[in-house]
């Protein structure tokens, strides 16, 4: 697996990878249906702690998802990710998030939050594997893909904790 920034020429592969209602419905900012124009706009507004995730198999490289740690307000940062359905259940979300968390730690970020839709418990399992702890809060979040609010379970992590340091970190490409 490789994590790297997104480039304008990634737009067609990005649009193909994310264009699944089962993916977009769990995201806050992605529209449904997801178009090539949406991919181009996303790539044009790239942030520093955002990585496309590529799978290497049988001599091919395929874009399978995205992981990011975004500043959400003041000094707060939030982990977010999505993966195309063919990548689900293979450990990519956990492995790539570990890489993104290591990059965040290296830049001095010490506290990260995350959340998942109540009806997406698989994402909650990923967050727990990474060492995130539930805050006890369930909060509404507008989902552009659903066109309505979704209830989300809130999590938080201290990056100085040992939990987020276990496991292999993926290769980060420039």
pLDDT (0 to 100) of residue 168? 46
pLDDT of residue 173: 56
Please write the tens of the pLDDT for every residue from 5-48. Answer: 999 999 999 999 999 999 999 999 999 999 999 999 999 988 77
pTM metric for this prediction: 0.88
- Per-residue model confidence as pLDDT tens digits over 138-158: 999 999 999 999 999 999 999
Q: CB–CB of 18/115 below 8 Å?
A: no
Q: Are 52 and 63 spatial neighbours (Cβ–Cβ below 8 Å)? A: yes
Tell me the pLDDT tens digit for each residue of 101-117: 999 999 999 999 999 99
Give the side-chain half-sphere CA count within 13 A for 118.
Answer: 10
pLDDT at res. 36 = 96
What is residue 5's predicted lDDT score, i.e. its pLDDT? 94
- Domain 2-172 class? alpha beta
Q: Say if residue 83's pLDDT is above 50.
A: yes
Domain boundaries, the chain: 2-172
Question: What is residue 148's three-state secondary structure?
Answer: strand
Pairing of strands 60-73, 50-57: antiparallel
């Amino acid at each position: 697996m490789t994590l790297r920034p997104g480039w304008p020429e990634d737009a067609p592969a990005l649009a193909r990878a994310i264009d699944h209602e089962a993916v977009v419905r769990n995201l806050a900012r992605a529209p449904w249906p997801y178009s090539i124009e949406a991919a181009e706009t996303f790539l044009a507004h790239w942030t520093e702690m955002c990585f496309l995730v590529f799978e290497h198999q049988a001599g091919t490289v395929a874009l399978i998802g995205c992981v990011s740690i975004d500043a959400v307000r003041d000094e707060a940062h939030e982990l977010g990710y999505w993966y195309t359905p063919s990548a689900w259940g293979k450990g990519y979300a956990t492995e790539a998030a570990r890489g993104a968390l290591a990059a965040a730690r290296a830049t001095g970020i010490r506290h990260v939050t995350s959340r998942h839709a109540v009806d997406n418990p698989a994402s909650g399992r990923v967050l727990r594997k990474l060492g995130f702890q539930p805050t006890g809060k369930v909060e509404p979040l507008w989902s552009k893909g659903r066109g309505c609010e979704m209830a989300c379970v809130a999590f938080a992590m201290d990056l100085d904790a040992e939990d987020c340091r276990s496991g292999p970190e993926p290769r980060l490409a420039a």
